Amino acid sequence: MSDDSFDPKQWVKQAAGTPPVRDGGSSSNEALSDFWREASGATAKPVDAAPKALPPERKKVQQSTDRRLPLAIAGSAVLLTLGATAAWMTRSTSPLPVSATVTDPEASSGLQERALNLAGPGQLVSALVAAGVRPEDASAAAAAAAPYLASGGEIHAILVLATGTDGAQLQQLRAVHIDGSGAILARAADGSYAVTPLLASVSRKIEVLRGEIDSDSFYSSAVSAGLIDSLIPEFINAFSYDFNLASEVSPGDVFEVAFDQEVNAQGQAVGQPKLLFAQLTTPQKSLALYRFETPGAEAGWFDGNGATTKRGLMRTPVDGARISSKFGMRFHPVLHYNKLHGGTDFAAPTGTPIFAAADGTIEFAAMKGANGNLTVLRHDNDWRTLYLHQNVFAPGIGAGVRVTQGQRIGDVGTTGRSTGPHLHYEVHIDGERVDPQSIPADESSRKRLEGAALQAFLKERDRIDAARSQGAS
Distances (CA, A) of 295 to 160, 177, 185, 292, 437: 51, 33, 44, 10, 33
Is 60 exceeded by the pLDDT of residue 37? no
Please name the CATH architecture into which domain 322-440 falls.
Distorted Sandwich (2.70)
Q: Domain segments of the chain: what residues? A: 1-30+76-200, 202-302, 322-440
Cβ neighbours of residue 7 closer than 8 Å, sequence gap 6 or more: 1, 28, 105
Is 90 exceeded by the pLDDT of residue 462? yes
Q: Would the pTM count as exceeding 0.95? A: no
Is 80 exceeded by the pLDDT of residue 25? no
Is 90 exceeded by the pLDDT of residue 215? no
Give the Cα separation of 392 and 388 in Å (integer). 11
Q: CA nearest 291: which of 300, 279, 303, 283?
A: 300
Give the dihedral of Cα atoms 324, 329, 333, 338; nearest 10 deg: -170
- Cα angle: 358, vertex 362, 366; to 5 degrees: 125
The answer to whether the 202-302 and 322-440 domains have the same CATH topology is: no
User: What confidence score (pLDDT) does residue 16 get?
Assistant: 42
The region that residue 335 occupies, defined by phi over 0 for left and psi between -120 and 50 for alpha, beta otherwise, is alpha
Mean pLDDT score of the chain: 76
- Greatest mean pLDDT range, 77-81, 171-175, 247-251, 340-344: 171-175
CATH classification for the domain delimited by 202-302, as one of 3.30.2130.10, 3.10.450.350, 3.40.50.720, 3.30.200.20? 3.10.450.350
Q: Mean pLDDT, to the nearest integer, of 172-185?
A: 91
Q: Mean pLDDT, to the nearest integer, of 7-25?
A: 42
Is 90 exceeded by the pLDDT of residue 394? yes
The residue among 333 and 230 whose pLDDT is bigger is 230
Confidence of residue 257 (pLDDT cuts 50, 70, 90): very high
Cβ neighbours of residue 456 closer than 8 Å, sequence gap 6 or more: 292
Is 80 exceeded by the pLDDT of residue 440? no
- Greatest mean pLDDT range, 96-100, 207-211, 243-247: 207-211
User: What confidence score (pLDDT) does residue 44 get?
Assistant: 40
pLDDT in tens, 331-349: 556 555 565 566 888 888 8
User: What confidence score (pLDDT) does residue 350 get?
Assistant: 93
Lowest mean pLDDT among 2-11, 103-112, 249-258, 456-465: 2-11
Q: CA nearest 264: which of 208, 204, 198, 206?
A: 204
Q: CA nearest 252: which of 221, 295, 289, 279?
A: 221
SS3 of residue 277 by DSSP: strand
Is 80 exceeded by the pLDDT of residue 457? yes
CA atoms within 13 A on the CB side of 449: 28
